[in-house]
């Protein structure tokens, strides 16, 4: 662990990831736009920094996990001398773990290369649970030698680390992941609503279908939350919608039809309009409940099922 590591972005995903780097023994520098979010990690041994440039000047490996493409732009470049580009050392490696535009990723890589630094795009999947437990799936794009350099740090954050191709390809694979995520969410929502209308015991229904061909991470982790009317986010509607927007933009450039993904985008838009953007992405079912005039009402464990 001879390389000094910095982490930028201590939100719903980043704080768990940064904490796992501390647990792994890294000498960690941190920065977050809302400075108070650095305090708990500072109490655990992390070193707060003034801004991304200050962090970059102290670190060999710089990890970024923020919300959207403009946020990464602000962190790396900024409109003033506080961005990573203004402090980064020659030979340093920036690892962007956000989910952003593949095109923008390649542009950021070119700007860092002008400073003699390297970039990997390494978006993640697994929700806040995976971030907290160090079990994320990480899809990495960039030069193979830099992926191997980053591997020890990434192993503190995830169980599955896959080098998928060149710079920007990590983001493309993450968009593939998000197409599948929202497709599973839509299928789960329709299936549970159907079961509710049919008078089934929803908990027994979940128990019956999860081990079979219909089982999925989404159904196993978010299905029980829906039955409990628990809308706490592993990943918010607002963030999921941002990713769906990236998918639809890339698909438009590629000329690929996105029928189910486009439908999910419109359904999430209705929930955002109702002020529900901070709820978990599994709250997608609320849009279908409103269309059907039915609300999921799972029986307590061991109790009778309730019809719609």
CA-closest candidate to residue 198, choices 190, 210, 209:
190
CA dihedral 53, 57, 58, 62 (to 10 degrees): 60
Task: Please state, in angstroms and rounded to a whole number, the distance separating the CA atoms of residues 168 and 175.
Answer: 11
* Catalytic residue check, 174: yes
- Catalytic residue, from 23, 115, 174, 204: name it: 174
DSSP H helical ranges for 8-158:
14-23, 39-43, 52-58, 69-76, 102-113, 127-133, 144-155
- The count of C-alpha atoms lying within 13 angstroms of the C-alpha of 189, restricted to the half-sphere facing its C-beta, is 24
**Residue 183 phi, psi (nearest 5):** -65, -45
Sequence-ordered strand ranges (E) for 129-228 = 136-141, 158-165
**Contact in structure between 256 and 172 (CB atoms under 8 Å):** no
CA dihedral 123, 129, 135, 139 (to 10 degrees): -10
Task: Please state, in angstroms and rounded to a whole number, the distance separating the CA atoms of residues 182 and 172.
Answer: 16
Tokens (6 digits) for 201: 């015991």
Q: Is 121 helix (H, G, I), strand (E, B) or coil?
A: strand
Tokens (6 digits) for 166: 């060149």
**Contact in structure between 87 and 53 (CB atoms under 8 Å):** yes
Tokens (6 digits) for 89: 């050392």
Name the maximum alpha-carbon separation found in the chain.
66
Tokens (6 digits) for 272: 């955002």
β-strands 61-64, 93-96: how paired?
Answer: parallel
Residues assigned a catalytic role:
174
């Amino acid at each position: 662990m001879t390389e000094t590591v910095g982490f930028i972005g201590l939100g719903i995903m980043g704080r768990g990831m940064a904490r796992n780097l501390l647990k792994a023994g890294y000498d960690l520098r941190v920065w977050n736009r809302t400075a108070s979010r650095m305090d708990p990690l500072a109490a655990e041994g992390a070193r707060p920094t003034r801004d991304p440039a200050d962090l970059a000047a102290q670190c060999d490996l710089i990890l970024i996990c923020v919300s959207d493409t403009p946020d990464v732009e602000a962190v790396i470049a900024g409109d003033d001398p506080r961005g990573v580009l203004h402090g980064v050392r020659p030979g340093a490696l920036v690892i962007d773990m956000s989910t952003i535009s593949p095109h923008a990723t390649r542009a950021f890589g070119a700007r860092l290369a002008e400073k003699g630094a390297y970039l990997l795009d390494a978006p993640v999947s697994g929700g806040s649970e995976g971030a907290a437990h160090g079990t994320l799936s990480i899809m990495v794009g960039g030069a193979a030698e830099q992926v191997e350099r980053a591997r020890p740090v990434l192993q503190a954050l995830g169980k599955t680390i896959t080098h998928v191709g060149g710079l920007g390809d990590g983001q493309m694979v993450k968009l593939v992941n998000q197409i599948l995520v929202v497709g599973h969410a839509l299928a789960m929502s329709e299936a549970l609503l159907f079961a509710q209308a049919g008078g089934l015991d929803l908990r027994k229904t979940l128990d019956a279908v999860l081990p079979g061909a219909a089982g999925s991470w989404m159904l196993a982790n978010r299905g029980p939350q829906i039955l409990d009317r628990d809308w706490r986010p592993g990943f918010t509607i607002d963030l999921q919608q941002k990713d769906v927007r990236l998918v639809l933009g890339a698909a438009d450039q590629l000329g690929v039809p996105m029928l189910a993904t486009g439908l999910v985008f419109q359904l999430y838009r209705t929930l955002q309009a109702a002020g529900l953007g901070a709820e978990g992405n599994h709250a997608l079912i609320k849009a279908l409940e409103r269309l059907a005039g039915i609300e999921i009402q799972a029986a307590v464990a061991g109790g009778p099922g309730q019809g719609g």
